[in-house]
Amino acid sequence: MLLPSNIKNKRNSLSVVIPVYNEEKVLEVLHQELIKVLESLNMEYEVIYVDDGSTDSSYLILKKFAHENRRVKVIKLARNFGQQAAVSCGLDYSKNDGVIIMDADLQDSPNLIKDFVSYWQKGYDIVYHIRKKRLGEPFWKVLGMKIFYFLLTRFSNINIPPNVGLFRLVDRKVISILKNLQEEKKFLPGLFAYVGFSQIGIESERPERKGGKSKSFFKLASLAIDGLINFTTLPVRLIQLSSLFFIILTFILFILFLINKKGIVLIFTLSSFFLSILFIALSIVGEYLLRIHFELKRRPQYIIEEIHNI
Ligand code: UDP
Ligand code: MG
Instruction: Tell how far the Cα of 122 is from the centroid of ligand 2, in angstroms.
Output: 29
pLDDT tens digits, one per residue of 92-103: 999 999 999 999
Question: Do the Cβ atoms of 107 and 207 come closer than 8 Å?
Answer: yes
23-37, 130-144, 271-285: range with lowest mean pLDDT: 130-144
Instruction: Tell how far the Cα of 106 is from the centroid of ligand 2, in angstroms.
Output: 8
* pLDDT at residue 125, rounded to an integer: 94
* pLDDT at residue 283, rounded to an integer: 96
Q: What are the domain boundaries of the chain? A: 13-213+301-308, 234-297
The CATH number of the structural domain formed by 13-213+301-308 is: 3.90.550.10
Q: Reading across the β-sheet that carries 13-20, which strands appear in turn?
A: 72-76, 44-51, 13-20, 98-101, 164-171, 126-134, 199-206
pLDDT tens digits, one per residue of 288-302: 999 999 888 888 767
Instruction: Tell how far the Cα of 39 is from the centroid of ligand 2, in angstroms.
Output: 25
pLDDT tens digits, one per residue of 145-171: 888 888 888 888 788 888 888 999 999
* pLDDT at residue 306, rounded to an integer: 64
Instruction: Tell how far the Cα of 219 is from the centroid of ligand 1, in angstroms.
Output: 9
Q: Which of 25, 103, 131, 149 has most ligand 1 atoms within 8 Å of its beta carbon, as the pocket-test mutant?
A: 103
* pLDDT at residue 303, rounded to an integer: 66
Mean pLDDT of 223-234: 89
**Average pLDDT along the chain:** 89
- What is this structure's pTM? 0.80
* pLDDT at residue 1, rounded to an integer: 45
* pLDDT at residue 213, rounded to an integer: 82
Judged by its nearest atom, the ligand closest to the C-alpha of residue 21 is 1
Q: Which atom of ligand 1 is nearest to the CA of 137?
A: 24
Closest CA to 204 of 158, 148, 171, 165: 165
* pLDDT at residue 71, rounded to an integer: 94
Judge whether residue 3 has pLDDT over 60.
Answer: no
pLDDT tens digits, one per residue of 28-84: 999 999 999 999 998 999 999 999 999 999 999 999 999 999 999 999 999 998 899
Mean pLDDT of 117-144: 86
Residue-by-residue DSSP string for the chain: ----S-TT----EEEEEEEESS-TTTHHHHHHHHHHHHHHTTSEEEEEEEE-S-SSSHHHHHHHHHHH-TTEEEEE-SS---HHHHHHHHHHH--SSEEEE--SSSSS-GGGHHHHHHHHHHT-SEEEEEEEEETT--HHHHHHHHHHHHHHHHHSSS---TTEEEEEEEEHHHHHHHHH---SS--HHHHHHHH-SSEEEEEEEEPPP-SS-PPPHHHHHHHHHHHHHHH--HHHHHHHHHHHHHHHHHHHHHHHHHHH--HHHHHHHHHHHHHHHHHHHHHHHHHHHHHHHHHHTT--S---------
Judged by its nearest atom, the ligand closest to the C-alpha of residue 215 is 1
Judged by its nearest atom, the ligand closest to the C-alpha of residue 18 is 1
